[in-house]
Structure 1
Amino acid sequence: MNDRLIQSQKRLHDSLFELYIDGGLELFQAGTRGLKRELIIRLETSALTPEKGEIIHYYAINRWDENDEFDEWAKPSMALSAEAERILGVTNEQLAHCRASDYALDDFFRFLQF
């Protein structure tokens, strides 16, 4: 092995050890989710404008950890129009089995807070 690679591995080892000593054990055990979290968030509403509709799809994923994901559809308080069903690709029948939006929103906020 060349000297540069050996020195690089030694610096990495020393850095991880310092992280552990400085109280980073919890972060280390949390894995990627604990070390770096950048969420991509997508929300879908039941109407074409936020003023007329409500959020019915909550989605977020950590771009550094695909296992750190939230994806839930919610039942709207009013039925979707035929146009909204066509645009969203989901039907009122499919959403009828989902939880109410306020419950999904509570869980979504908990997910965002980590």
Structure 2
Amino acid sequence: MSDRLIQSQKRLHDSLFELYMQGGLELFQAGTRGLKRDLIIRLETSALTPQKGEIIHFYAVNRWDENDEFDEWAKPSRPLTAEAERVLGVPNSPLDDCRLTYAVLNDFLAFAYAC
């Protein structure tokens, strides 16, 4: 085996041991998946343009951990138009019981910035 390959394997072993010592067995077993948080974000609005609508559905999921998820609908400040109800497939009535957009947005941002 070449000296370069031996040194590379030693560095890898030392790095994994250091990771184990700092993060414990669980982090070592999780490997890089335990260190990543890549969010897939989907937002739905109450109209086709930002000037006329607002975000009414906040959804995000960590692509490495499906249990790390945020999914909440918000009550728009104005009722959805009939066209918006048709496009979204959501009537106004269930949205009446939801929290206001700004309240959901605050929780969504806290979720997104959580480490």
TM-score calculated relative to the size of structure 2: 0.76
CA-to-aligned-CA distance 1:32-55 (integer Å, 9 cap, x gap): 875111111110100011111000
Residue matched to 2:4? none
Alignment of 1:76-95 (within 5 A): 76-95=76-95
Identity %: 69
**Deviations 1:2-23 (CA, angstroms, capped at 9, x unpaired):** xxxxxxxxx98865432132x3
Structure 1 residue 24 and structure 2 residue 29: aligned? no
In structure 2, relative to structure 1, the CA distance for the partners of 1:84 and 1:109 (3 Å cut) is same
Distance of 1:98 and 1:55 partners within structure 2: 13
Letter in 2 for 1:55: I
Q: Which residue of 2 aligns with 1:57?
A: 57
Q: Aligned residue for 2:6?
A: none
Unaligned runs of 5+ in 1: 1-10
Q: Which has the larger radius of gyration?
A: 2
Give per-residue Cα distances to partners, 1:84-107, cap 9 Å, x unaligned. 001111111010010000110000
Matched, 1:67 2:67: yes
What is the CA–CA distance in structure 1 between the aligned matches of 2:42 and 2:35, rounded to whole Å?
A: 23
3-state secondary structure, aligned to 1:70: strand
The RMSD of aligned alpha carbons is 2.5
Distance 2:20 2:48 in 1: 50
